[in-house]
Structure 1
């Protein structure tokens, strides 16, 4: 008799834990360390203040083979569609859950933001959100390391392709 009383609650707990486990596993598999984001921003600010041509590879400590530039108002689902991968920079599971709701769908929800997503072998290795007042990448779409462009600061902190 006692066994039957415990069976139903046990089954309910297991059924409730399965979606949690799947969701937590997704969080673990999509989470990136994002080490070097602050360092990249500092190097970029220094280069922008010198007003000299530069290469993105000179500013990063991570290995990458492609950089996607996302412009203001690009949704998270659009970014994931373009890169063909889902990733998260969230440091906690709770932040990850918020990111996966409508609250996290528009990380570039302001005209002043753009994002650089560095990839290596089809995986995101660095995700940097920048204020366009510091560096405006709206004239650049994608950079591949084997054909890396030389960029230069232009009027109003715009970053443009350097043409000697």
Structure 2
């Protein structure tokens, strides 16, 4: 009888422990989405208004550097470039998918690219954007003080943002 209880306790621990560890990792790596909607509105406004875009004004929250990831960049490549792991604001089930092989290719389409804003060692905004405002010429990392863009309007309706520090 004691063996059966012991075996049941060990089995329960083996089932519960990975879930607890996974939930903790999710909690520590999850990026809050509080800045996403204001950023999208501000970016659309800035892109429709003038010929220059100052990202520090468009993204007034605290950040030190911004990374632009072009289409087909894998999650692993992004995390290696930024130097940290993070989970976009997708909920726990989304986190499980994001960490699986299915979530490895998050930019699997020519029409999207990703901006990742980092403050210190923390990702504060992870946003996937369609390329109506195209930051593809800004590959890599851009410091906040150098995140100024000249906007060029294309005939197809896209706005190309070229970095002009």
Instruction: Report the TM-score when normalising by structure 1.
Output: 0.91
Two-structure CA RMSD over aligned residues (Å): 1.5
Is the Cα–Cα contact under 8 Å of residues 53 and 162 in structure 1 kept in the other structure?
Answer: no
Tell me, which stretches of 5 or more residues in structure 2 are unaligned?
Answer: none
Matched residue count: 160
Report runs of 4+ in structure 1 exceeding 3 Å deviation.
none
Distance between the aligned counterparts of 2:23 and 2:36, measured in 1?
24
What secondary structure is seen at the aligned counterpart in 2 of 1:11? helix
The alpha carbon displacement at 1:11 in A equals 0.9
The offset of 1:153, in angstroms, is 1.4
Contact kept? 1:114, 1:132, Cα under 8 Å: yes
Is 1:52–1:152's contact at 8 Å kept on the other side of the alignment? yes
SS of 1:158's equivalent? strand
1:70 corresponds to 2:72: no
Cα pair 1:73 1:106 within 8 Å, conserved:
yes
Question: What is the CA-CA distance between 1:112 and the residue it aligns to?
Answer: 0.6
- Displacement of 1:34 in angstroms is 2.4
Deviations 1:82-134 (A, max 9, x none): 0010001234221110111122111111001011100001110111111002x
Q: Greater strand share, 1 or 2?
A: 2
Does the 8 Å CA contact 1:117/1:127 hold for their aligned counterparts? yes
Matching residue of 1:109: 108
Structure 1 stretches of 5 or more lacking a match?
none
- In structure 2, the residue matched to 1:160 is 162
TM-score (norm 2): 0.90
